[in-house]
Amino acid sequence: MKHFTKLLATAAVAITTAFPAFADTTLTVHYAMPGFFKDVMDTISKKFMEENPDIKIQFANPSATYEEGIQTIMRQVGTSEMPDLTFIGLNRLRMADERGIPVDLGTLIAKDQNMAEQGFSDNILKLAQVNGKQVGLAFATSNPIMYYNADLVKQAGGNPDTPPKTWDEVIALGAKIKALGNGVDSIDFRWQGDDWMFSALLFGAGGTMLNEDETEVAFNGPAGQKAMEVVDRLVKEAGMPVFTKPAGEQAFVAGKVGIAFQTTGALRNTIKNVGDKFDLRTAEIPLIDPENGKLPTGGNAVVILTKDEAKQDAAWKFAKFAAGPYGASVVVPGTGYVPNNELAAKSAEYLGDFYEKNPLFQAGLKQMPRMIPWYAFPGANGVRVTQTIVDNTSRVVDQSATPQEALDDAANEVKRLLPRK
């Protein structure tokens, strides 16, 4: 782990160093979620430019979310504003590919010939494929985990050393935490913004969004009903409040929420914001079906957009560097995302004994065998489909609809938005 101390020391340094003026190629790079990724991007690009003085990296204005990011790129296609590379949410790669936006990396990979030696296994490459086409390289990958306030758990009569392993246990413990009073809330389940956390429940119950040939909505079937019933029970039985995403995160780090469920990618910021206010712990998220349940892979992939062949060579160098072992060794400790590069995960030169020394990061790592692709809906209405699921989950959280009503309404609207076969 010889890089680790150095990486954390440099992660917050803005790129103000003057790089050689003789750079032959300038690449404009776009990304989303600067709260998670700004320091990481600065560190990776700084190191890349040191090793490649003929290439300069400049960043376009980042987008707040993956949804905003893909819509920004779609507006910029064919204009001078379009960046040379972008980092797209894994569930939006299909939308970008259906519009013919990304460069097919298959030819570049074929020329490279030693991707496995650089830590890019076939399974890792598949995370950024669309129907077998290599659209990008996975950069940051995550899964949903449980964060909990061990002090509140103990006060409520629970054992923080044995966190709940089922949703029944979560709900029972949440109710006891809520009963502590003094402005303490039980649970924050990060359902807002996109369909990722609903996917965690749905996939965790063994369900799918659509049927196998993508002709029918499937998320309102038995698995989806079990998933949405968990949301309903979190409210009715455990007293989960109606939080906005920022309010939920702020309440948890302030010590006013007992249990929170969200991306492992938020771990580094959560550790920093909690400080020494309470004993922060993490654990694996429960699965409705422990035998067959899976978890969605969150995160993003680096995608090459430029059609300029000279720039493509430089862009390919940067894409491999960012998604490679050095990039992964910055992303993991700098955020909480799980390693997307096997060389980084296994080599003592990069992450080495990091997980042994940082036990809060182990929950996401343990769940890696459960990870499957974050489902990407077909057609041009992917963002609207996602919002439909979010809006109807909201109705269950605020108790304006039953789980079945919300699922049926969402299914009817999503069916209308899907492309006709």
Tell me the pLDDT tens digit for each residue of 186-239. Answer: 999 999 989 999 999 999 999 999 999 999 999 999 999 999 999 999 999 999
Pick from 155, 160, 149, 191: which is nearest to 176 by CA?
155
Q: Is 210 helix (H, G, I), strand (E, B) or coil?
A: strand
- Cβ neighbours of residue 367 under 8 Å, at least 6 residues apart? 143, 145, 284, 285, 295, 338
What are the structure tokens assigned to 328, written together?
Answer: 């992964």
Average pLDDT of the segment spanning 246-250: 96
DSSP 122-171: HHHHHTTEETTEE--EEEEEE-EEEEEEHHHHHHTT--TTS---SHHHHH
Pick from 96, 17, 91, 92: which is nearest to 57 by CA?
17
Average pLDDT of the segment spanning 308-314: 92
pLDDT tens by residue, 41-90: 999 999 999 999 999 999 999 999 999 999 999 999 999 999 999 999 99
Q: What is the torsional sign of CA 148, 149, 154, 159? A: positive
Degrees, nearest 5: CA angle 276-149-332: 70
Q: Is 357 helix (H, G, I), strand (E, B) or coil?
A: helix
Enclosing H/E stretch for 176? helix 167-178
Exposure letters 158-172 (e unless 16+ CB within 10 A, then b): beeeebbeebeebbe
- Cβ neighbours of residue 291 under 8 Å, at least 6 residues apart? none
pLDDT tens by residue, 323-371: 999 999 999 999 999 998 888 988 888 998 899 899 999 999 999 999 9
Check: CB of residue 298 under 8 Å from CB of residue 372: no
DSSP bridge pairs for 261 = 146, 189
Q: Mean of the per-residue pLDDT values for the chain?
A: 92
Average pLDDT of the segment spanning 315-324: 97
Q: Which tops the pLDDT comparison, 3 or 30? A: 30
Pick from 298, 229, 313, 226: which is nearest to 265 by CA?
298
